[in-house]
Amino acid sequence: KAGVTQTPRYLIKTRGQQVTLSCSPISGHRSVSWYQQTPGQGLQFLFEYFSETQRNKGNFPGRFSGRQFSNSRSEMNVSTLELGDSALYLCATRQGNEQYFGPGTRLTVT
Amino acid sequence: KNQVEQSPQSLIILEGKNCTLQCNYTVSPFSNLRWYKQDTGRGPVSLTIMTFSENTKSNGRYTATLDADTKQSSLHITASQLSDSASYICVVSAVYSGGGADGLTFGKGTHLIIQP
């Protein structure tokens, strides 16, 4: 069974631009969560989707948004990028008590 | 406020030695506690998951303990190898209705370096 995949793996953007990240969950998993990871803050919860509906949302500004498609694939969008948005963005799928993380997308904002 | 504190922040040990990482939490009501290993630039990988009734759980050279009374957990690594160099993250889940991801509280991790 293939694991969680994320694309792209690396991305460099300029302040003010927008970016879209993609996450494909493990086959059969319908829950997708997104996290931002920075050295100082650790992993912070962005939002969670289940069956195309946003179930939960963390404490991030409205510039961060997401959606989930009928095949459970999910995208995350960040508009008007700021230098502080530079981070590793991880998505995870969940089944029961277990969470499975993707390899992440390393976003650098210059 | 739910919190997870990990110590030490970083640790350097020689290959072949043992080490113990600590996790203290204030998450309530408690559901389960997980330890993850994260290699540099990769996503976290689950090592163990422990519920309220479990005191000890092993995964190869990794042994996790849980004391639900004192709200402490430890991860013991035996006979360390160079491949153990990574960040180790403690994650505690609260019992929220629906069991959503917002019920998870993450520690900031312990950065472990194994030197030859």
How many CB pairs (< 8 A) connect A and B?
55
Q: What pLDDT is stored for residue B97 in this prediction?
A: 46
Q: Which residue has the tokens 């000890």?
A: B56
d(CA B115, CA A108): 30
Residue B98 near chain A (CB below 8 Å): yes
Q: Give contacts of A57 with chain B, Cβ < 8 Å.
A: 102
C-beta separation of B87 from B32 below 8 A: no
Name the residue in chain B with its Cα closest to that of A4: B43
Q: What pLDDT is stored for residue A102 in this prediction?
A: 96
Out of B32, B89, B98, the one facing A43 most closely (by C-beta) is B89
Out of B42, B49, B98, the one facing A97 most closely (by C-beta) is B49
The answer to whether A100 contacts B46, with C-beta atoms less than 8 Å apart, is yes
Q: Give contacts of A56 with chain B, Cβ < 8 Å.
A: 100-102
Tens of pLDDT, residue by residue over B41-90, are 889 999 999 998 899 999 999 999 999 999 999 999 999 999 999 999 99
Nearest CA-CA partner of A31 in A101, A98, A93: A93
d(CA B88, CA B109): 5
Low-confidence residues of chain A: pLDDT under 50: none
Nearest CA-CA partner of A77 in A27, A31, A11: A11
